[in-house]
Every structure is written in C-alpha cells, then in structure tokens.
Amino acid sequence: MEFSRRIRLNKTTVFLIVLVFLALVMVYLLMGGGDKYNDHDIKISQLLAASIHLAEKAGQEIVEIRKSKSLQETSKLKEGLAGKEIVTLGDQKSHNIITRGLKEVWPTLRTKSEEKTQSDHDKGRAFRPLLKHPEITAKIQQRNEKVNSDDIAVWIDPLDATKEYTEGGTNPELLKYVTVMVCITVSDEPIASVIHQPFVKDTNGRQGITYWAWVDHGVSPNLEGIKSSPNTNTIRVISSRSHSGDVIKVANSALSDSGNKVEHIVAAGAGYKTLQVALQKADLYLHTTPIKKWDICAGDALIYTLDGVMTTRKGHFITYDPDVDAKVNDGLIVAYTKNWHSYFFSKFRKFQ
C-alpha cells in the first residue's frame, strides 16, 4: 500500500511539471518565440507591437504618478535650444519603461529619447513587452518584413506636453494634450509609430487611447474611415499655446488674402496637434520656431501613412539620423492631404 501511494504521488508530481512546462511554452510563444533573441534582423511587426505595449504601460505609470501628486519636478537645459524646461518623474519613468523594455528584447537596438536613463529610476526588472498585437496581426497577417537592425532606430518622446502634465492637477482639461510617442525609422525615414493619449478615454469609457500607423501596411482601427471635406472658406490652423501669437500673425497674413476665414486652435504638444490634423479636426498644423525630432517623428510617420504631408516651412522632408543634431530649425507645415500641403506651402513661401 505504501509503495502504490508513492507511485500516485510521483504521477501527480509529473503531471504538475508538465503543466508548468506547457504554461512556460505558451508564454514563450506569446513573447514571439525565439525571434526575440535575433538581434540582427528585426521584424517590424514585432517592434511595432512591442512599442504599442510599452507606450501603454508607460501611460499607465504617467497617470498613476499624476494621481499621486508626487511629480518630483526639476528643470533641465533644453537640448540644442535656449532656456530650460520641466522634467518630472513621469517623464523619467516612461523613458525607462520604453527604453529598457525595447532593450530587453533587442539589446543592440538604437534608441533616441528626449530623456536620459537615470540609475535611481532604473531599479527592478524591466517590463518585457509582448511581440504580438491583435490589431497588427489582423491587418498585416504574413507581411512580417525583417530589417537589418543596423538600419533601425527608435525615437521616443516619453511624455509630450510636460508643462500641461504638471498643471493638470488644478486644470485637468490640460491633460488631454499629454502623449507618449514611439517612432520607428529605417534608414533615417519614419516608417511606423505609436501615439498614446493616457488621459483620454475611448468610446467605451476605458482609460487611454492608442493610435498607430505603419507606412504601406495600415493604421489602427480608430484612424480608419475618417472623411471630412475641407471647408475651403474656413481654414482651421492649430498652433502651440506657448507661442501662438507668431503663428496667428503669419497665418492671417498668408491665408486671408484669398478671402479665406482663418480659425485658430491653440493647443499643446506636437503629438496632440498632429493627431488633430490626422483626425481632420484641423486643416493645418503650423509651427514657426525650432522643434526637436522626438516631438515630431511619430506624427510624421502617422501623417505620411494617411497620405498627408509633414515638412519644414521651407518644404523639406525631415530625416531622422540618430547620430546628428535632433533639432529642426525651420518650423513645420503639416496637412492631411498633399494638395492642401502644396496650397499652404505656396502661401507661406513669401513669409520665410
């Protein structure tokens, strides 16, 4: 009897071991299988899926820090620009979640972020992203092009509209401007991106909205089917809260001579403003001062995928070499169709 009891116990143990093994295999497959160890050739579908998961995870952290009211605000010199800007714990935590998460899967992947990794915020295990996303799987199917990792760089803005993030405690309306942005470039051109709004609820009341785009492949479902015939008598111009006066003056001078009415929308965050053009809630995003490339890379990829155009005010397309200056000196013209962009560019040429 004692012997048979020992046999049954061993069978139970073996059964449990098999269950644990199968569970580990399932997790392994969900993480993308052996591909996560291939650091030379990267599937863009997996990198985009990981970027979505990491942006959303970072957004959750940003929201929790805002709720805690412990933003730990400091100031830093603007890289390549005059003056100082605010940086918070939310900026730093978001940066670490995204950069460490990407490096967890692709250790040699080049990243270019607005923030720098701080060791005191870099504790604990990295959040490891999933390498599949149902929206991408449904659209892309077998189109999983591999790209040499030497040609890839990821541009990151961990928390766009930091000023509004800090002011959102007393004025929650400002939090809609906050975005987390990740942009994938190949040979210095933006080819896929994620823009996540952590404080905006979706149509089902769930916290956070994510938009993604992949050039020549597709966009997130919430960017599909957006159709709006521009009102040619009224041109909606969106510009920055921080220097709207310059834009209003230039836009009125350039556009009013054709009998158009110019409606000005003042907002914060390059990500938010580009989204308004993509969603056709604005006809033109006009920026007249220098801007950093991590502010605009994700929006550039998204607008281009939707057949819109982003250029400097001089009409030049923007390249994203991570090894050179990250500043764009000549401002921006962003429109959701090529025809509209050509029209706006022709109007602004004499105001360069």
Q: What is the pLDDT along the chain (352 residues), one digit of tens a residue?
A: 443 434 444 666 656 666 766 666 454 444 444 444 456 899 999 999 999 999 999 999 999 999 999 999 998 766 655 557 899 999 999 999 999 999 999 999 999 998 876 555 566 678 899 999 999 988 775 566 899 999 999 999 999 999 999 999 999 999 999 999 999 999 999 999 999 999 999 988 999 999 999 999 999 999 998 876 666 689 999 999 887 668 898 899 898 877 789 999 999 999 999 999 999 999 999 999 999 999 999 999 999 999 999 999 999 999 999 999 899 999 999 999 999 999 999 999 877 6
Same domain, 59 and 125: yes
Predicted pLDDT at 217: 92
Residue 289 belongs to domain with CATH number = 3.40.190.80
Same domain, 297 and 215: no
Same domain, 144 and 249: no
Same domain, 60 and 189: yes
- In whole angstroms, what is the distance from residue 228 CA to residue 206 CA? 26
Place of tokens 């008598």: 233
Q: Phi and psi at residue 333, in whole multiples of 5°?
A: -125, 120
Question: Domain of 66?
Answer: 40-223
Residue type, 102: L
- SS3 for 26? helix
Question: Does some domain include residue 335?
Answer: yes
- SS3 for 86? strand
Binding site, annotated residues for Mg(2+): 114, 157, 159-160, 295
For residue 288, what is the DSSP state? Answer: -
- SS3 for 323? coil
Question: Does some domain include residue 27?
Answer: no
- In whole angstroms, what is the distance from residue 228 CA to residue 285 CA? 16
Binding site, annotated residues: 114, 157, 159-160, 295
Predicted pLDDT at 126: 85
Place of tokens 């521009």: 230
Domain count of the chain?
2
Residue 109 belongs to domain with CATH number = 3.30.540.10
Predicted pLDDT at 322: 95
Residue finishing a domain among 194, 223, 252: 223
Place of tokens 């093994």: 21
Same domain, 198 and 240: no
Name 306's Cβ contacts closer than 8 Å, sequence gap at least 6.
213, 219, 223, 278, 336
Is the distance from CB of 100 to CB of 314 less than 8 angstroms? no
Same domain, 209 and 301: no
Predicted pLDDT at 35: 45
- In whole angstroms, what is the distance from residue 351 CA to residue 175 CA? 33
Same domain, 213 and 65: yes
Phi-psi region of 2 (alpha: psi -120 to 50; beta: other; left: phi over 0): alpha
Same domain, 218 and 271: no
Q: Are strands 234-240 and 74-77 parallel, antiparallel or unpaired?
A: unpaired
For residue 198, what is the DSSP state? Answer: E
Question: Does some domain include residue 44?
Answer: yes
Predicted pLDDT at 341: 96
Same domain, 219 and 84: yes
Residue finishing a domain among 203, 223, 243: 223
Measure the N-to-C terminal CA separation of the chain; round to a whole number of Å: 94
Question: Does some domain include residue 14?
Answer: no
Same domain, 202 and 246: no
Cα dist. 60→67, 173, 200, 271, 339 in Å? 11, 18, 12, 18, 38
Question: Does some domain include residue 337?
Answer: yes
Residue finishing a domain among 196, 223, 250: 223
Is the distance from CB of 284 to CB of 334 less than 8 angstroms? yes
Question: Does some domain include residue 326?
Answer: yes
Question: Does some domain include residue 259?
Answer: yes
- SS3 for 283? coil
Same domain, 206 and 275: no
Question: Does some domain include residue 104?
Answer: yes
Same domain, 265 and 124: no
- In whole angstroms, what is the distance from residue 323 CA to residue 139 CA? 33
